[in-house]
Structure 1
Amino acid sequence: MNAKLVFVYALTPLHPGTGRGIGVIDLPVARETATGIPYLPGSSFKGVLRDQCLDKNMRKSLFGPDTDNASDHAGAVQFSDQRLLLMPVRSLAGTFAWVTSPFVLRRFAREHEGAGLNGCPPLADVAGEQTAVISTESKLVVRNDHIILEDLKLQKDKKQNANAWAETLGGLIFPDDAEWQTFLKERLCVVHDDIFSFLLETATELIARVRINDDSKTVQTGGLWYEEALPAETILSGVITAQQIKANKLKPAEALQKTAELAAGTLQFGGSATIGRGLCRLVVA
Structure 2
Amino acid sequence: MSESIKLLLIKALSPVHCGTGQSVGGIDLPIAREKPTGIPLIPGSTLKGVLRSGPNRDEGLHRAVFGPDTANASEHAGSVQLADATLLFLPVRSARGTFAWVTSPYILRRFGRDAREAGCSELSPPALKSDEGKATVTGGALRIGDLGDKVVLEDYDLESAVSKELERFAGELAKVLWGADGDAAEERGHFAARVCVVHDDVMALLLETCLEITTRVRLDPDKKTVVKGALWTEEALPVETILAGLALATPVKQPKPLRDGGPDRYEAKALLGYVQGLATGGVVQLGGKATVGRGLCRMTMVG
Asked whether 1:253 is paired with 2:269, we answer yes
Residue of structure 1 in register with 2:110 after alignment: 107
* Alpha-carbon separation, structure 2, partners of 1:139 and 1:158: 11
* RMSD of aligned Cα (Å): 1.5
> 188, 201, 205: which is aligned to 1:198?
205
- State the SS of the aligned residue for 2:152: strand
* Alpha-carbon separation, structure 2, partners of 1:159 and 1:97: 15
Shift in Å, 1:41 = 0.1
- State the SS of the aligned residue for 2:53: helix
> 149, 155, 160: which is aligned to 1:156?
160
Shift in Å, 1:160 = 6.9
Whichever residue aligns with residue 252 of structure 1, its letter is: A
Contact 1:21/1:28 (<8 A) preserved? yes
Contact 1:112/1:118 (<8 A) preserved? yes
Contact 2:138/2:163 (<8 A) preserved? no
Contact 1:46/1:79 (<8 A) preserved? yes
- State the SS of the aligned residue for 1:180: helix
Residue of structure 2 in register with 1:210 after alignment: 217
Residue of structure 2 in register with 1:39 after alignment: 41
* Alpha-carbon separation, structure 2, partners of 1:258 and 1:41: 20
Shift in Å, 1:159 = 7.3
Whichever residue aligns with residue 63 of structure 1, its letter is: F
Question: Alpha-carbon deviations, 1:111-159, whole Å to 9, x = none?
Answer: 0011122251432211x111000013x4111121111101110111267
Shift in Å, 1:245 = 1.8
* Alpha-carbon separation, structure 2, partners of 1:124 and 1:88: 20
The alignment's TM-score, normalised by the length of structure 2, stands at: 0.89
Shift in Å, 1:67 = 2.0
Residue of structure 2 in register with 1:147 after alignment: 151
The alignment's TM-score, normalised by the length of structure 1, stands at: 0.95
Residue of structure 2 in register with 1:168 after alignment: 172
% same residue: 46
Structure 1 unaligned residues grouped into runs of 5+: none
* Alpha-carbon separation, structure 2, partners of 1:266 and 1:159: 33
- State the SS of the aligned residue for 1:157: strand
Contact 1:133/1:160 (<8 A) preserved? no
Whichever residue aligns with residue 103 of structure 1, its letter is: Y
Whichever residue aligns with residue 2 of structure 1, its letter is: S
Shift in Å, 1:251 = 1.0
- State the SS of the aligned residue for 1:3: strand
Shift in Å, 1:241 = 0.8
> How do 1:53-92 residues align onto structure 2 when only pairs under 5 Å count?
53=55, 54-92=57-95
Contact 2:109/2:125 (<8 A) preserved? no
> 279, 289, 302: which is aligned to 1:272?
289
Shift in Å, 1:72 = 1.7
Comparing 262-271 with 69-78, which one deviates more in the overlay?
A: 69-78
* Alpha-carbon separation, structure 1, partners of 2:137 and 2:165: 5
Asked whether 1:185 is paired with 2:171, we answer no
Comparing 45-54 with 223-232, which one deviates more in the overlay?
A: 45-54
- After TM superposition, which residue ranges in structure 1, 4 or more long, deviate above 6 angstroms? none
* Alpha-carbon separation, structure 1, partners of 2:62 and 2:275: 10
Question: Alpha-carbon deviations, 1:82-123, whole Å to 9, x = none?
Answer: 100000000011111000000000000000011122251432
Structure 2 unaligned residues grouped into runs of 5+: 256-262
Question: Alpha-carbon deviations, 1:161-216, whole Å to 9, x = none?
Answer: 62122123212222323322211111100000000000000010001110001222
Question: Alpha-carbon deviations, 1:14-59, whole Å to 9, x = none?
Answer: 0011102121100000000000000000000010000015443332
Contact 1:6/1:237 (<8 A) preserved? yes
Q: Structure 1's 63 and 246: CA in aligned 2 closer, same or farther, altered over 3 A? A: closer
